[in-house]
């Protein structure tokens, strides 16, 4: 008898994507430390993912894709992030911008962007502004009317993978209304090399400067008729969960292999560590299940999806930091060395809570929902 499938599991017909990414992730993990050290874009990893057809699979069927479920997408992000979190971060933003433009644009432009993704072109999000904090969907920069569209002068920050991007999803105020555009790089756009960071170093999320850049009218996205799930909001929790997975694996490996000279027993037999490991493992499982629930809601286009992304992100961000902290504590001096994967995972784990919406913004919104009357 076939065992029942959990409703949060990836659909059976998509399991081959999980297996494909798991195989690729072994190579990605082997090069993660080098990419972290050099802070170079893991472009070979991104091309390998595209070569499998995975990018195409994320598109809607009517645009040549496979309608890859959010349940599978979340599992894929988690696997990638455990192997190389910078690769996972760029891929989440790439798919978020590409599928976003394909779905949000007018039909002809939507098909154009879908074909560009299928052809191997790279996409990036240029949404966050230096002065806007977490309000990346509420731009402050104004696009001025011009022949053929609008002109934008300003800057967007934290644009992951921007140096390799062929298309950008950009937002600006048009007549006081936040508006999305598809933008191809030209000589009015420059990349400001500010990305010398503690973690996610190979994501190269640079500042992009716009100097009178034309936002073409024909690449303006019409107002969205209704809210829909999106790959960035859905992916961020799984990005942190993957880091937590890798940190827990490093913790366990060190605890089992480190023998205490005074007792001759492995560190894993110390009761204090067993208690702390039990605590973070239980919380990691809880965050995993809630995030899978969030992906399940996305697959049903539920109005509960967006609120669920806030809770999922908070749970995942917090547990990633705490598992990495315990891994560092367990590793001791050995984990503090640059040759140890523990210190890299500890640094990468800090990023999730800072990414918009930050953990504080998420908690503020959750708290208001809990404590204040709702309309």
Q: How many other CB atoms sit within 10 Å of the CB of residue 219? A: 21
**Interaxial angle between packed helices 85-104 and 107-118, expressed in degrees from 0 to 180 and rounded to the nearest 10:** 150
Q: Please, which residues have CB within 8 angstroms of residue 103's CB and are 6 or more apart in sequence?
A: 60, 110, 228
Q: What percent of the chain clears pLDDT 90, i.e. is strictly above it? A: 92
Confidence of residue 1 (pLDDT cuts 50, 70, 90): very low
Q: Please, which residues have CB within 8 angstroms of residue 159's CB and are 6 or more apart in sequence?
A: 124, 125, 126, 128, 165, 168, 205, 206, 207, 208
Dist. CA 43–CA 240, nearest whole Å: 21
Q: What is the pLDDT of residue 132?
A: 75
| Of the candidates 37, 41, 22, the residue with the CA atom closest to the CA atom of residue 81 | 22
Q: What is the pLDDT of residue 45?
A: 98
Tokens of 86: 């910078």
Q: Are 79 and 22 in contact (CB under 8 A)?
A: yes
Arithmetic mean of pLDDT, 291-307: 97
The DSSP secondary structure of 244-310, one letter per residue, reads HHHHHHHHHHHHHH-EETTTTEEGGG-HHHHHHHHHHHHHHHHHHHHHHHHHHHHHTT-TTHHHHHH
Q: What percent of the chain clears pLDDT 70, i.e. is strictly above it? A: 99
Label the pairing between strands 123-126 and 167-174.
parallel
| Average pLDDT over all residues of the chain | 96
> What is the rounded (10 degree) CA torsion for 172, 201, 316, 355?
-20
Arithmetic mean of pLDDT, 79-92: 98
Question: pTM of the prediction?
Answer: 0.96
Tokens of 133: 């904090």
Q: What is the pLDDT of residue 3?
A: 52
Arithmetic mean of pLDDT, 251-274: 95
Arithmetic mean of pLDDT, 100-122: 98
Confidence of residue 4 (pLDDT cuts 50, 70, 90): low
Q: What is the pLDDT of residue 137?
A: 80
CA 296, distance to chain mean position in Å, is 18
Arithmetic mean of pLDDT, 243-254: 98
Buried b (16+ CB within 10 A) or exposed e, 354-375: ebbbbbebbbebeeeeeeeeee
> Three-state SS for 229?
coil
Q: What is the pLDDT of residue 224?
A: 83
> What is the rounded (10 degree) CA torsion for 133, 137, 140, 143?
150
Arithmetic mean of pLDDT, 117-131: 95
Q: What is the pLDDT of residue 72?
A: 98
Q: What is the pLDDT of residues 151-170, one digit of tens each?
A: 999 999 999 999 999 999 99
Label the pairing between strands 189-192 and 206-216.
antiparallel
Arithmetic mean of pLDDT, 225-238: 93
Confidence of residue 227 (pLDDT cuts 50, 70, 90): confident
> Three-state SS for 182?
strand
Arithmetic mean of pLDDT, 11-33: 97
Arithmetic mean of pLDDT, 313-323: 98
């Amino acid at each position: 008898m076939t065992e029942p499938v959990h409703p949060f599991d990836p659909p059976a017909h998509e399991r081959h994507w999980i297996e494909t990414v798991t195989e690729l992730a072994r190579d990605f993990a082997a090069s993660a430390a080098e990419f972290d050290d050099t802070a170079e874009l893991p472009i070979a990893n991104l091309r390998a993912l595209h070569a499998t057809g995975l990018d195409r699979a994320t598109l809607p069927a009517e645009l040549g894709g496979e309608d890859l479920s959010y349940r599978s997408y979340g599992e894929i992000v988690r696997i990638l992030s455990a192997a190389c979190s910078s690769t996972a971060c760029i891929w989440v933003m790439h798919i978020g911008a590409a599928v976003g433009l394909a779905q949000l644009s007018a039909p002809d432009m939507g098909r154009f962007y879908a074909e560009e993704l299928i052809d191997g072109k790279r996409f990036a999000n240029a949404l966050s502004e230096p002065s806007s904090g977490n309000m990346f969907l509420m731009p402050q920069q104004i696009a001025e009317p011009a022949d053929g569209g609008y002109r934008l002068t300003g800057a967007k920050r934290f644009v992951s993978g921007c140096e390799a991007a062929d298309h950008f999803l950009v937002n600006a105020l048009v007549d006081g209304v936040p508006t999305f555009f598809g933008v191809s790089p030209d000589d009015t756009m420059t990349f400001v090399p500010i990305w010398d960071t503690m973690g996610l170093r190979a994501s190269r999320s640079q500042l992009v400067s716009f100097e009178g850049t034309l936002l073409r009218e024909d690449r303006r996205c019409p107002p969205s008729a209704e809210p829909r799930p999106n790959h960035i909001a859905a992916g961020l929790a799984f990005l942190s969960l993957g880091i937590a997975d890798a940190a827990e694996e490093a913790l366990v490996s060190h605890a089992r292999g480190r023998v205490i000279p005074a007792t001759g027993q492995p560190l894993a037999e110390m009761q204090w560590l067993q208690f702390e490991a039990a605590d973070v493992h239980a919380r990691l499982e809880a965050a995993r299940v809630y995030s899978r629930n969030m992906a399940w809601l996305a697959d049903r286009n539920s109005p509960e999806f967006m609120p669920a992304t806030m809770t999922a992100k908070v749970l995942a961000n917090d547990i990633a930091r705490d598992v990495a902290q315990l891994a560092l504590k367990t590793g001791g001096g050995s984990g503090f060395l640059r040759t140890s994967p523990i210190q890299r995972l500890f640094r990468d784990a800090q990023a999730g809570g800072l990414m918009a919406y930050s953990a504080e913004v998420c908690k503020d919104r959750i708290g208001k929902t809990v404590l204040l009357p709702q309309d």
